[in-house]
């Protein structure tokens, strides 16, 4: 079973608040990813990292930012949450192109 964790699992927050979604993995994987899953279920890559101090934007434009100071940790931050940020956010990690291990996701609701 994959050891990748996301907290919180559910978050309801008001507009304008700063939030950080946490993602940690204990597998020592260099590659980590953040996906946004629309209510209609489609997933889009919003950020990825190939190692410490490496971060890139994904295919879908996002107002969020990420950091990768430690191999095991890849947090995502929204400086000022808006209702349009309401979605499910999935974190994943991988060592190769064979498989990405996914966390359970954070379901974010911005009121």
Partner 1 sequence: GEDVEQSLFLSVREGDSSVINCTYTDSSSTYLYWYKQEPGAGLQLLTYIFSNMDMKQDQRLTVLLNKKDKHLSLRIADTQTGDSAIYFCAETPGTALIFGKGTTLSVSS
45 scored as a contact of partner 1 (CB under 8 A): yes
Size of the site for partner 1 (CB under 8 A): 25
**Would you tell me how many other CB atoms lie within 10 Å of the CB of residue 100?**
19
Smallest separation (angstroms) from partner 1 to the CB of 17? 24
DSSP string covering 5-52: EEE-SEEEE-TT--EEEEEEESS--SEEEEEEE-TTS-EEEEEEEEET
Using CB under 8 A as the binding rule, the residues of this chain from 51 to 70 that contact partner 1 are: 56, 58-59
Which residues form the interface with partner 1 (CB under 8 A)? 4, 6, 33, 35, 40-45, 48, 56, 58-59, 90, 92, 97-105
């Amino acid at each position: 079973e994959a050891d990748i964790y996301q907290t919180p699992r559910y978050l309801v927050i008001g507009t304008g608040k700063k939030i950080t979604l946490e993602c940690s993995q204990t597998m020592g994987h260099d590659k980590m990813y953040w996906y946004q899953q629309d209510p209609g279920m489609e997933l889009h890559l919003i950020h990825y990292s190939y190692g410490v101090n490496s971060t890139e934007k994904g295919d879908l434009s996002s107002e969020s930012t990420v950091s990768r100071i430690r191999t095991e940790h890849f947090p995502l931050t929204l400086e000022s949450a808006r209702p349009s940020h309401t979605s499910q956010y999935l974190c994943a990690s991988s060592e190769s192109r064979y498989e990405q291990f996914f966390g359970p996701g954070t379901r974010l609701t911005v009121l």
